[in-house]
Chain A
Amino acid sequence: MTILLQLYWEFFKIGLFCVGGGYASMPFIQDSVVDTYHWLSLSEFIDIFTISQMTPGPIGINAATFAGMKIAALPGAIAATIGFCTPSVIIGIMLAELFFRYGDIAAIKGVLNGLRPAVVALICSAGISFITLAVWNEETWPKDITAFDPIGIIVLIGSLIAIKYKVGVIRMLAATGVCGLLLGLAKQFLFG
């Protein structure tokens, strides 16, 4: 029981202080579960990092769930996940109340008017990183533009066409998974 409470509290703190999304929570998790409590070895932690990136689902929750699972099985996973989410619920509800209740006040309108273009910019920035990852398998702009991944380009263009023809999002993503698998197998079969 103590381990579950400890997990809850550790991940509560991680949820509270991790700023900047999923990847940003990784160093916090490492600091706590590897360096401070020695619940996991560094190599087990790197496993968590890999698995969180590879599994569908938000990276931060994946990491919390997987770390909790390794430390104290399913109850551990649940304790870590709930701990990780608690600060978001408290802060989220407070901010939502503030913005939705007093949203008509000019000051708050001003803040939101400033934030909307900012979020558009952040989406564009994320979009470009995604493009380089999809087409060149690199997170930053590639040094050699000709070293692209043909499978990436084919699936990307196919998806853009599917969006144009208003195919449902979930169906489209499931289909891209199947296409990736089939094209990967074809490439393996043809080129070894």
Chain B
Amino acid sequence: MNQDLHSVARDYPHFYWTLFKSTFLISAFTVGGGFVIIPLLKAKFVDEYHWLNDKETLDLVSIAQSMPGVMAVNTSVILGYRMAGLRGSLTALLATTLPPLITLSIISVAYDLFADNQYVRYALKGMQCGATALIIDVAIKMLRKQFRAKLLIPLLIVAATFIANYFYDVNIMLLIIIDGIVGLILLRADKYNI
């Protein structure tokens, strides 16, 4: 992987503060959890700060998916570690856990008011649609990349994994393990580094 990119990240003025701020915002706006984090990561760290590239983002997500725990926590731990070791990892983790702690401290005081509040539901419905648009955008861009590479095995992996996950609800960890093994056996060549 590209080592220079990460010294660029660490030399960025106020690196830790920027890392904290971005991860905090990403966590605060992850509506619905899980994969929504990917377009947000890409927007901040790839497009805005250029600390990562698209492929590395997918690698981080793959590693996060292959371990137990929650995606947002796993991703921030690995992302922070990738850019600045243990300190980066803990910075990103703190920033990820703070927003829920703050919002829920407030909400638990007035839970009944919040849960039945129509206005809150309307606003959250709107944000769900925004999150959907983000994930559609990223899905299309990434699919396009896979198709442009015109390689049979990766495309078969995309199709098979999609069918198994969407139509048959096969456990994600199991799919990740199987696809990792397929990669280990069949995709060692450099041309598969899409």
Contact = CB atoms under 8 A, between A and B. Distances in A.
Interface of A: 15-23, 25, 47, 50-51, 53-62, 65-66, 69-70, 74, 77-78, 81, 84-85, 87-89, 91-93, 95-96, 99-100, 103, 106-107, 109-131, 133-134, 151-152, 155-156, 159-160, 162-163, 168-170, 172-181, 183-185, 188
Given A60-B73, A88-B74, A159-B132, A116 B58 contact: yes
Contact of A15 (B68, B119, B125): B68
Contacts of B61: 119
Given A54-B114, A77-B104, A121-B160, 20 more contacts: A58-B70, A58-B73, A60-B72, A61-B27, A65-B104, A77-B105, A81-B97, A114-B181, A116-B62, A117-B154, A121-B165, A124-B143, A126-B135, A128-B166, A156-B129, A176-B130, A177-B123, A179-B126, A180-B124, A180-B126
Contacts of B105: 69, 74, 77
B59 A112 contact: yes
Contacts of A20: 171-173
A111 B183 contact: yes
A77 to B, nearest CB: 6
Contacts, number: 367
Given A112-B59, A155-B130, A180-B126, A125 B68 contact: no
Contacts of A65: 97, 100-101, 104
B126 A176 contact: yes
Interface string B34-62: 11011110011000000000010011011
B35 A126 contact: yes
B30 A163 contact: no
Contacts of A168: 43
Interface of B: 1, 25, 27-35, 37-40, 43-44, 55, 58-59, 61-74, 77-78, 81-82, 86, 89-90, 93, 96-97, 99-101, 103-105, 107-108, 111, 114-115, 118-139, 142-143, 146, 154-155, 157-162, 165-166, 171-173, 175-176, 179-188, 190, 192-194
A22 B146 CA distance: 28
B78 A180 contact: no
Given A60-B73, A89-B93, A180-B122, A47 B130 contact: no
Given A57-B30, A92-B81, A170 B188 contact: no
Interface of A is mostly: helix
A172 B69 contact: no
Given A47-B111, A130-B131, A19 B171 contact: yes
B63 A99 contact: yes
B100 A55 contact: yes
Given A18-B69, A21-B70, A170 B29 contact: yes
A126 B183 contact: no
A29 B42 CA distance: 31
B122 A160 contact: no
A173 B131 contact: yes
Contact of A92 (B74, B119, B135, B173): B74
